[in-house]
Amino acid sequence: MCGIVGYVGGSDAGSFLLNGLRRLEYRGYDSAGVAVHGGAEINITRSVGRIDALAGELGETPPAGMLGIGHTRWATHGPATHENAHPHVGGEGEVVLVHNGVIENFQLLKDELIKKGYEFKSDTDSEVIAHLVAEGLKKTPENKEQPNMRYVTAVQWAVAQLRGTYGLAIAFREKPNMIIAARFGSPLVIGVGRGEYFLASDATPLIGSTERIVYMADHQLAVLTPEGFSVLHRDQGKVRVDIRPLETESNEVSLEGFDHYMLKEIYEQPESIRNAMRGRLDEQDATAVFGGLNLTPQQLRGVERIILTGCGTSWHSALVGEYLIEELARIPVSVEYASELRYRNPPIDNNTLVFGITQSGETADTLAALRETKRKGHRTLAICNVVASSIAQAADGGVYLHAGPEIGVASTKAYTSQCCVLAMLALYFGRMRHLSYEGGKRIIEEMQQLPGAVQQALTCDVQVRDVAQKYKDVSNVLYLGRQYNFPTALEGALKLKEISYIHAEGYPAAEMKHGPIALVDEHTPSVFIIPHGTTYEKVLANMEEVKARGGPVIAIASHEDPQIESIADDVIRIPSVPEILQPIVSVVPLQLLSYHIALLRGCDVDKPRNLAKSVTVE
Amino acid sequence: MCGIVGYVGGSDAGSFLLNGLRRLEYRGYDSAGVAVHGGAEINITRSVGRIDALAGELGETPPAGMLGIGHTRWATHGPATHENAHPHVGGEGEVVLVHNGVIENFQLLKDELIKKGYEFKSDTDSEVIAHLVAEGLKKTPENKEQPNMRYVTAVQWAVAQLRGTYGLAIAFREKPNMIIAARFGSPLVIGVGRGEYFLASDATPLIGSTERIVYMADHQLAVLTPEGFSVLHRDQGKVRVDIRPLETESNEVSLEGFDHYMLKEIYEQPESIRNAMRGRLDEQDATAVFGGLNLTPQQLRGVERIILTGCGTSWHSALVGEYLIEELARIPVSVEYASELRYRNPPIDNNTLVFGITQSGETADTLAALRETKRKGHRTLAICNVVASSIAQAADGGVYLHAGPEIGVASTKAYTSQCCVLAMLALYFGRMRHLSYEGGKRIIEEMQQLPGAVQQALTCDVQVRDVAQKYKDVSNVLYLGRQYNFPTALEGALKLKEISYIHAEGYPAAEMKHGPIALVDEHTPSVFIIPHGTTYEKVLANMEEVKARGGPVIAIASHEDPQIESIADDVIRIPSVPEILQPIVSVVPLQLLSYHIALLRGCDVDKPRNLAKSVTVE
């Protein structure tokens, strides 16, 4: 999703901006640009496509200057063109800015500005803000005593008219030493150096440049100059901020010999699952322990309902969590799309605990849904991967995945780690209630086998390659599973959709008869997730129904299943694990299948079209 | 889905069988067959495709006889071939039967029978039962005093070995005057005549032949001869049965000038909605009234949770019901896929009310889920269209849709009537709780406008034709909506999938960013359901995101929306109704869109491939 970087200080801005934008690449974008203040003029360079294209555009002697802002854009209003790339110019060039977020009332504002004579060069909502700030400057007289304040006032006037979300970095032609930043609903981090200050939409670009950072909060503005920085509340004046250490996890971001981050991350899963469980399985008491829940056992014992909310892949892990928690702890669980929950206002009982699930911790919809339920007085917890992310700060407490940075846009290891954390939470809540010591102990033993089972599942790679070769040219695929493997079907379909652009769709296997089976013909394969379990024979009957209509069948089946080969056209084998842990193992061949098919189709596996790694707009 | 007919009496069996099978056609099937007992031999005729083909096969002088059984098959095991069509023969021809349902352990039984020397001519699970009955006859000595009992015993022995579901009609070479029927999980109805008895999988084929019927229950066997009929429990001997009048609704099954039943049913919606509301809106008390809930106001006041369960289109109306009941009555609602609920065993509170929603009342998964929750002591209610259907008999009470027979396989008027009934239930529960007299009165007034609004929505037909013409050749479509129009998106996508075989998929509009947007390109249109409402501007922003990636946009928008034309490529207008009632109006253009696209693609609108009208197998 869109990314922001900014620099003001005594060094050349360009190199930090380019390096910073490269660090943000993994979030997904379709165009990029930088603006560098040369003292008298601001030089803007924009480019469609990758950062490499932008670097080429800048050439060997890029514009010099000690103040600059940069941006990667994920298109929301208007296609990915040169004109729509940031930075955008306001007025006659007196304002230059980059913007993350979505402005909902931009059309109205744009119409008014056009009436006033402002000319628009792009389709974006962001250009509206640039002109608004220019208009704000017109309206604001100079302030001799505090010259910077005129610019702050202009920005305050401009953002007061916006409906929507924004993270802004703004430079001014007349101020070669000052950046103003503003945040509402779109994260911004200030990096504190010595005589130089940095700005970024998350902490990643700051690694190596500074070790002290400040997370801006909603409604805050910041003024950055080489002499120092100050943060103001939009309406209430100056605020004191906490300078925190920049926590970075180990440098797990090289490819380490793999062709793609996605493949590397798929293969990291035995390790990332181990990390998710490290120190959290308590054999002594046959339960799980978590450090950061920030709730007393009494409070947790009082939980009568659980809501799990998330988007995309995290929504799928929430579905797995529903089955796990309801089975092990007998606490009723509701799974909600975060984007629906935030506006829906459903009746929620007292003693309901809300979990927001997001890899990045920055997913706008999940963050908003969590804040909305927290505002209503419910306890909220986060399950996320990125330490000190927005959701980790917003929730009452939470559980980190410790999966290491996930760079591939299609989530893999974060998904299995989420399932793993939810299994431990189910064990924990279960042991508080109906689950016996023996039952808890058995689950712990089974969980300890998981990294080995996933390791073994990865050996299906060879089989999967053959299957990928055979089906790489299909246009449609159905993914079908039941109970614990219904979310697996959804997740397998999403993976294929995301990186190969094949229309894949997941369904509960039995639901297929109620419509989707109309799609079945010899060109539309169905992937059945059918390891041994309670509904094995039922799913087998559904498989027969597909076969009877001439549809090719790919089965993800247990090693110990002699029957399956007589029905399915292709079989991929996975090791047997107890049903409650199957989602963590059975998804592995589906991740590999989508990877190999995408590769054979020549798709950009790590940076699929149209997608962003963490979706920080609504 | 599969259908059964049977006849024993003094007239020619053939004509009843053929007419009966024609009456069952609307349920969807892919092959058919009849067996007529000629006295010494049983003559079997089978055919792939329509009943007309079977009639052609039978020719002008069909085999004569006064006992016969017939079948329409919807393939579950093995493709739709001549060999797999019913009736099937057991042993050396001494047994002939037709079967509805699915036998899960058929492979095991088949292997054993092959070892014993039985020869199989088909891939079906049903042929296994035929041979099993033959084997049962071998094992059972003749019974001189009660000669029929030998055959009953053989059938009892056979069905005792089956795991799965069955509705069976069995004829025997040595018994030209006797049919044995058996039921478990697949409905059978006996028609009681004078000196003649009928059998069918639902009451439709019996209309005109008799007015007295008996619904068989699970585990029952029936023996039909021209002298009379008797019903036995599988293990407990003879049972007394109730003979009921055959209730039939008016003869609304002609096409009345429309080209297809589906189109006729779409156009019937103003009337069917009116029928759903008739006598149920109480202006005096500003609430709704229902005749058949069979629960006291005190019991209903005590309801603290509601579960809505169904399959396919009914599952979509359940999602609408969730939004309605949670908003108007503030009772938390869970929506469950019936096929998942029946095996999942989720924790369910006391004071939970379970609704099973199904047009036909025969949907196997919904029926089983309802029975499972009833068995656990929860109160159960049915929302269904077919009077005296299995679910109506199984539930504690319920609400009929009164939509008249729905013949098109793709449900249209039943869906809007389900939404309408759920709105009235929400009003009723709301008025028991937080909803004021004024609030109830306003909703009643708004509901009374509904038939008119749907009538007005139907006038979009001309616009829809143009849109259909433009997009008829696409391979993929996304349907996007939020809140009340999210289920509409799912339902619109399902309609297109069912009858045009285009891969369409519905999503909450904001969820699209988390994966599905990867599918968007110039060949993949998105249908946005975006009437005025609380999330209008949010959905507009999602629409911009799709436009920015070059995807064509079709908008279903309010008449009073001047802005939409500047963004969407095609706009279909619908009248404005309050948000809670929008699902009933906004689905109309989507029904028409799928109809016209399917027509342009040359698809069989009323009998789409692979599908069955009511899914009576798991």
- Is the Cβ–Cβ distance between B290 and B601 less than 8 Å? no
Looking at residue A249, its pLDDT comes to 53
A520 conformational bin, left if phi > 0, alpha if psi -120 to 50, beta if neither: beta
Residue contact B313–A514, C-beta within 8 A: yes
Which domains, and CATH codes, for chain A? 3-252 (3.60.20.10), 255-448 (3.40.50.10490), 457-618 (3.40.50.10490)
Residue of A503, A519, A609 with shortest CB distance to B501 = A519
pTM of the full structure: 0.82
| Chain A neighbors of B325, CB-CB under 8 A | none
Phi first, then psi, for residue B190 (nearest 5°) are -100, 130
Looking at residue B236, its pLDDT comes to 82
- Taking the CA of residue B491 and the nearest CA in chain A, the distance in Å comes to 10
Indicate if B613 belongs to the active site. yes
- Is the Cβ–Cβ distance between A203 and A218 less than 8 Å? no
DSSP for B271-314, written as a single string:
HHHHHHHTTTEETTTTEE--S---S-HHHHHT--EEEEEESHHH
Looking at residue B248, its pLDDT comes to 63
Res B9 pLDDT > 50 = yes
Strand partners, A96: A89, A171
| Chain B neighbors of A513, CB-CB under 8 A | 311, 612, 615, 617
Angle between helices A582-600 and A450-457 (to 10 degrees): 30
Number of other residues whose CB lies within 10 A of the CB of residue B427: 27
Out of A69-78, A320-329, B216-225, B520-529, which region has the weakest mean confidence (pLDDT)? A69-78
Number of other residues whose CB lies within 10 A of the CB of residue B473: 11
Closest CA to B400 of B410, B415, B387, B413: B387
Task: Note the pLDDT tens digit of each residue in B469-494.
Answer: 999 999 999 999 999 999 999 999 99
Sign of the CA dihedral running A441, A445, A446, A448: positive
Strand partners, A375: none
Residue contact B499–A516, C-beta within 8 A: no
What residues of A are labeled active site?
2, 613
Mutation choice for B interface testing from A348, A513, A545, A605 by most B CBs within 10 A: A513
- Taking the CA of residue A80 and the nearest CA in chain B, the distance in Å comes to 7
Residue carrying the six token digits 């922001």: A4
Nearest CA in chain A to B331: A347
Phi first, then psi, for residue A272 (nearest 5°) are -70, -30
| Chain B neighbors of A313, CB-CB under 8 A | 514-515
- State what percent of residues in chain B have pLDDT above 90: 79
Gyration radius from chain B CA atoms: 26
Nearest CA in chain B to A316: B514
Q: Distance between CA A100 and CA A4 in Å, rounded?
A: 7
Looking at residue B442, its pLDDT comes to 97
Looking at residue A112, its pLDDT comes to 95
Reported as a pLDDT band with limits 50, 70 and 90, residue B249 is low
Res B253 pLDDT > 70 = no
Mutation choice for A interface testing from B84, B540, B610, B618 by most A CBs within 10 A: B610
Alpha helices (H) in B146-279, listed in sequence order: 147-159, 261-267, 269-277
Nearest CA in chain A to B505: A505
- Is the Cβ–Cβ distance between A437 and A491 less than 8 Å? no
Out of A608-612, B370-374, B391-395, B541-545, which region has the weakest mean confidence (pLDDT)? A608-612
Q: Distance between CA B340 and CA A512 in Å, rounded?
A: 12
Task: Note the pLDDT tens digit of each residue in B260-308.
Answer: 999 999 999 999 999 999 989 999 999 999 988 888 989 999 999 999 9
Q: Distance between CA B570 and CA B556 in Å, rounded?
A: 9
Residue of B326, B514, B518 with shortest CB distance to A615 = B514
Task: Please give the structure tokens belonging to residue B176.
Answer: 């030209």
Looking at residue B571, its pLDDT comes to 97
Reported as a pLDDT band with limits 50, 70 and 90, residue B25 is confident
Sign of the CA dihedral running A159, A160, A161, A163: positive
- Is the Cβ–Cβ distance between B18 and B70 less than 8 Å? yes
Number of other residues whose CB lies within 10 A of the CB of residue B208: 11
Taking the alpha carbons at both ends of chain B, their separation in whole angstroms is 11
Task: Please give the structure tokens belonging to residue B349.
Answer: 């509170």
Quick one: DSSP state of residue B523? T
Nearest CA in chain B to A346: B326
CA B331 and chain centroid, separation: 28
Annotated catalytic residue, options B413, B495, B607, B613: B613
Looking at residue A248, its pLDDT comes to 63
Identity of the amino acid at B595: Y
pLDDT per 10-residue tile (average), chain A, 618 residues: 91 92 81 93 92 88 91 86 94 95 91 95 94 95 90 95 93 96 91 95 88 91 95 88 76 75 96 93 94 89 96 98 97 96 92 96 94 96 90 92 91 98 98 95 97 96 96 97 97 97 96 93 97 94 92 96 93 97 98 98 91 80
Percentages of chain B per state (helix, strand, coil), in multiples of 5:
40, 25, 35
Residue carrying the six token digits 């799980």: A288
Residue contact A518–B505, C-beta within 8 A: no
Identity of the amino acid at A562: P
Res B433 pLDDT > 80 = yes
Task: Please give the structure tokens belonging to residue A594.
Answer: 């989508």
Res B611 pLDDT > 90 = no
Residue of A476, A534, A610 with shortest CB distance to B520 = A610
Looking at residue B569, its pLDDT comes to 97
Reported as a pLDDT band with limits 50, 70 and 90, residue B250 is very low
Residue contact A611–B517, C-beta within 8 A: yes
Percentages of chain A per state (helix, strand, coil), in multiples of 5:
40, 25, 35
Task: Please give the structure tokens belonging to residue A497.
Answer: 């959709």
Nearest CA in chain A to B510: A339
